[in-house]
A and B are shown apart, each in its own frame.
Chain A
């Protein structure tokens, strides 16, 4: 076999091997009294964009910190790009890009100084890997001499991503990168992630925004240190498995309370302009309308709708 062919085969093999393989991962804090992760199994494909969602305390940040080799697991096996997170942490750090949840750049350094600093730590330069950061850097360039502390929330996060990419990592771990970021900047941030994905980057992203989770290949839902579900957004939505109604009236807060008092109501949550409701058994829409009108509601509107990822999240956690 020629070298070129060998290389081709290797590439194929690598692309088929999972980027992340987690088996029976356990993490505890404070002398085993706090269980952060309880026997987690998870595989992430090469080039996959995985969303990690779950309430506070689900274990998401612990998982990120283990994958980034910053804390040690208490049990189980974790491999990232075929490297063991405990034994091979030094090699792994060179190819991992980790963006922590808290803004972790130097506030008193400028945009350019932050970038140069992170490049130097990885023994590289901004110029050497300019192709991977170009799309973000052009947005930052007008403010390159501004201190990081003086940037708006959206720009700070773009700078943080830029610093995370400057050593050309093979996997990105992004812990709530868009928290506190406005909808327009969030959109721009995710457009950047889409481009990275098109170039084959493997990414794990946690987010409290379910519209962002919807954009990922698969969604992993965690709660209390366990994986509740992992599936594609489409499969997650298909699995909702019961009729969902959007209900509106002229008195939305009273409507929320009155719907909860309705005997066959199962779950009822505010969802922007309407409340989303499921029932314990099938309902007659006219009966429900009559009940609500009796409670003094006007302009009652009841429509059966398709669930969103957020509905699925609420449903899984409520049960």
Chain B
């Protein structure tokens, strides 16, 4: 079997006496959409930040694309994309300036950027807004734009932290179609969400409870195994069993 794109082994993070992430291990495979779920405070964001090299683990190991995230951080970062929970583009810059800025960070050339900007504008129907400040765009468009910017350097893996929080039902679906397209192109997608219908769009989901992995499988397998109709019920049963206080 081919090497997993992400290999997490016994990953742990302690803040003082509090163990936010407690010895978690799992693999993420090439081209899959991997859903990372959990209640607020279950340790999702902490785990995700360690996996993409933004936070140093207390112990354990993460390999991304066969590289050790702790010692080969820069090499990993060049090949991954990240979209944070909070909107990650610069509001005061135009669409073009944002794309150019992020492209510059990833070392994209002028010609390549020109192509990207045209492609991105067409995909979002933003042709006439390309020189408008990002602050003037509706939230839904901003989120879609932030996603396309996060994958504009053609990363092998993209990490999305609650990309559809507060987004209306139609825009949410448009966003997921962008995710599907990226996955079809072979980009591995690691995504967190609080919408349980979105959990169904993932190839596999990992549900964190109290800093540990409580379940990891294909959504339909989880539903069948636990005798539930929907992922909402699956999640509810697992997350409600949480013991730790915030």
Q: Residues on A close to B: CB < 8 A?
A: 53-57, 101, 142-143, 151-155, 176, 179-187, 208-210, 252-253, 256, 269-273, 310, 313-314, 317-318
B162 within 8 A of A: yes
In the bound complex, residues from chain A placing their C-beta under 8 Å from that of B220 are 273
Closest B residue to A317 using CB positions:
B170
> What are 6 pairs between A and B in contact, CB < 8 Å?
A55-B138, A180-B40, A182-B42, A184-B236, A272-B197, A272-B201
In whole angstroms, what is the CA distance A196 to B123 when docked? 46
In the bound complex, residues from chain B placing their C-beta under 8 Å from that of A182 are 38-40, 42, 194, 239
A188 to chain B, nearest CB (A): 10
Q: Residues on B close to A: CB < 8 A?
A: 38-42, 85, 138-140, 162, 165-171, 173, 176-177, 180, 184, 194-201, 219-220, 223, 230-232, 235-236, 239-240, 242, 245-246
Closest B residue to A252 using CB positions:
B201
B145 to chain A, nearest CB (A): 13
> Are B236 and A183 closer than 8 Å at their CB atoms?
yes
In whole angstroms, what is the CA distance A318 to B235 when docked? 30
Which single member of A54, A155, A209 contacts B246 (CB below 8 Å)? A155
Which single member of A180, A208, A209, A210 contacts B162 (CB below 8 Å)? A180
Given contacts A272-B231, A273-B200, contact A55 B39 (CB under 8 A): no
> Are A184 and B170 closer than 8 Å at their CB atoms?
no
Which single member of B165, B219, B239 contacts A180 (CB below 8 Å)? B165
In the bound complex, residues from chain B placing their C-beta under 8 Å from that of A151 are 246
A144 to chain B, nearest CB (A): 12
> Are B38 and A313 closer than 8 Å at their CB atoms?
no
Closest A residue to B232 using CB positions:
A183
In whole angstroms, what is the CA distance A298 to B47 when docked? 37
Which single member of A55, A181, A272, A310 contacts B200 (CB below 8 Å)? A272
In the bound complex, residues from chain A placing their C-beta under 8 Å from that of B176 are 270
> Are B197 and A271 closer than 8 Å at their CB atoms?
yes
In whole angstroms, what is the CA distance A142 to B167 when docked? 32
> Are A313 and B169 closer than 8 Å at their CB atoms?
yes
> Are B236 and A187 closer than 8 Å at their CB atoms?
yes
> Are A314 and B235 closer than 8 Å at their CB atoms?
no
> Are B169 and A273 closer than 8 Å at their CB atoms?
no
B196 to chain A, nearest CB (A): 6
Closest B residue to A269 using CB positions:
B173
B141 to chain A, nearest CB (A): 9
> Are A154 and B39 closer than 8 Å at their CB atoms?
yes
In the bound complex, residues from chain B placing their C-beta under 8 Å from that of A53 are 168
> Are A54 and B169 closer than 8 Å at their CB atoms?
no
B65 to chain A, nearest CB (A): 24
9 nearest A-B pairs in the assembled complex, by CB-CB distance: A272-B197, A152-B41, A152-B40, A179-B166, A153-B40, A55-B168, A182-B39, A272-B200, A56-B139
A175 to chain B, nearest CB (A): 11
In whole angstroms, what is the CA distance A272 to B177 when docked? 13
> Are A54 and B168 closer than 8 Å at their CB atoms?
yes
In the bound complex, residues from chain B placing their C-beta under 8 Å from that of A209 are 195
In the bound complex, residues from chain B placing their C-beta under 8 Å from that of A273 are 200, 219-220, 223, 230-231
In the bound complex, residues from chain B placing their C-beta under 8 Å from that of A253 are 180, 184
In the bound complex, residues from chain A placing their C-beta under 8 Å from that of B235 are 183-184
In whole angstroms, what is the CA distance A194 to B223 when docked? 29
In whole angstroms, what is the CA distance A176 to B168 when docked? 11
In the bound complex, residues from chain A placing their C-beta under 8 Å from that of B196 are 183, 272
In whole angstroms, what is the CA distance A101 to B166 when docked? 10
In whole angstroms, what is the CA distance A186 to B165 when docked? 13
In whole angstroms, what is the CA distance A269 to B239 when docked? 28
Given contacts A314-B170, A317-B170, contact A184 B200 (CB under 8 A): no
In the bound complex, residues from chain B placing their C-beta under 8 Å from that of A181 are 40, 194
> Are B39 and A184 closer than 8 Å at their CB atoms?
yes
In whole angstroms, what is the CA distance A55 to B170 when docked? 8
In whole angstroms, what is the CA distance A272 to B172 when docked? 12
Closest B residue to A185 using CB positions:
B40
B47 to chain A, nearest CB (A): 15
Contacts A143-B246, A313-B169 aside, 13 further interface pairs with beta carbons under 8 A come to A54-B168, A55-B171, A57-B139, A142-B245, A142-B246, A152-B39, A176-B166, A180-B166, A183-B236, A184-B39, A184-B242, A270-B177, A270-B197
B21 to chain A, nearest CB (A): 15
In whole angstroms, what is the CA distance A273 to B196 when docked? 10
Q: Which residue, of A55, A153, A184, A210, has the highest number of chain B Cβ atoms within 10 A?
A: A184
Which single member of B40, B180, B231, B236 contacts A154 (CB below 8 Å)? B40
In whole angstroms, what is the CA distance A55 to B175 when docked? 14
> Are A314 and B169 closer than 8 Å at their CB atoms?
yes
In the bound complex, residues from chain A placing their C-beta under 8 Å from that of B231 are 272-273
In whole angstroms, what is the CA distance A210 to B166 when docked? 12
In whole angstroms, what is the CA distance A142 to B201 when docked? 37
In the bound complex, residues from chain A placing their C-beta under 8 Å from that of B245 are 142-143
Closest A residue to B196 using CB positions:
A183
> Are A57 and B201 closer than 8 Å at their CB atoms?
no
In the bound complex, residues from chain A placing their C-beta under 8 Å from that of B199 are 272
In the bound complex, residues from chain B placing their C-beta under 8 Å from that of A210 are 169
> Are A183 and B169 closer than 8 Å at their CB atoms?
no
